[in-house]
Amino acid sequence: MFLPGFVPVCRRHGPGLKNKYLEYGYKMSNSPVSIVILAAGLGTRMKSDKAKVLHEIAGKSMLSYVLDAALTVTACEHVVVVVGCQAEAVRAEAAKKGGVRFAFQERQLGTGHAVQCALDALSEETGDVVILCGDVPFIAGDTICRLVAAHRQEARAVTLLSVALENPTGYGRVIRDPEGNVSRIIEEADASEQEREINVVNAGIYCVKKDFLAWALSRIEPHNAQNEIYLTDIIGVAYTNKRRIGTLVCPDADEVIGVNSRADLARAEERMAAGLRGKTS
């Protein structure tokens, strides 16, 4: 028998996962969650004419892996895939899963702008929004469930997934104030030498209250000559306005590593092959 207000959050695990969340102390509600998958970029570092999220690992597209993880979340009411470069090909790949909505980002004006496009497809929805990256293929459904649970347990405005890396080069660092509260995300190019020594980084995966998300994005100033809007800036907006911010640490760094180049893709293939060998040994 389970306590009122607790629900199984992962389709793949059902009631067994409910026990796990009771053990962790995470309380779930019946309120729905929408999941947004960012998949609009071409990925120039892949040196390919194919959209980045359509590159395959073990014969399956990166986008397909992310969709599979998203669709294990029982509380998920809607999945929105943001498309842009090679939109029709990406739509066709995502549509294989069924029941997916799409948002079109005509110009790639940053991750924040991509999420704004997705919110247009969720105009009637309320509750929380989980934001995933289509080029992070190893994200697990369990991790998404834990992120939502932790977010709701503390009634936060935003909860971000973080990870400690031995070599954090290239990743945005999670900055905390003197009291230990998350205050902002700073990209490596903008970080001081002291900030670059921080090894806890932003994984680029979030759970955010929808009303706060829309409000925060409307307050962000565009960056650079391209007028890009960075999703990471919602953390600073939340902190400045004294909204609750939290993090969930992902224990498996490989799970949240993005695939941005041919070398990354080769490493992902190796990781997948090693995982498959482990299952059959």
Nearest to 257 by CA among 189, 171, 175, 181: 171
Burial class (CB in 10 A: 0-12, 13-18, 19+), 225: exposed
Q: Which amino acid is at 277?
A: R
Region at 10 (left for phi over 0; alpha for psi -120 to 50; beta for the rest): beta
C-alpha torsion sign, points 134, 136, 142, 146? negative
d(CA 13, CA 180): 34
Q: Which of the residues 12, 45, 184, 277 is marked catalytic?
A: 45
Active site residue 45: yes
Report whether 36 contacts 129 (CB < 8 A): yes
Residue 176 is inside which H or E element, if any?
A: strand 173-176
Beta strand 128-133 with 200-209: parallel, antiparallel or unpaired? antiparallel
Beta bridge partners of 248: 161
Report whether 175 contacts 183 (CB < 8 A): yes
Cα 47 to its chain centre, rounded Å, is: 24
State the chain's maximal CA–CA distance in angstroms. Answer: 57
d(CA 239, CA 243): 6
Report whether 64 contacts 40 (CB < 8 A): no
Residues in CB range of 220: below 8 A, 6 or more apart: 112, 229, 230, 233, 234, 237
Q: Which residues are known to be catalytic?
A: 45
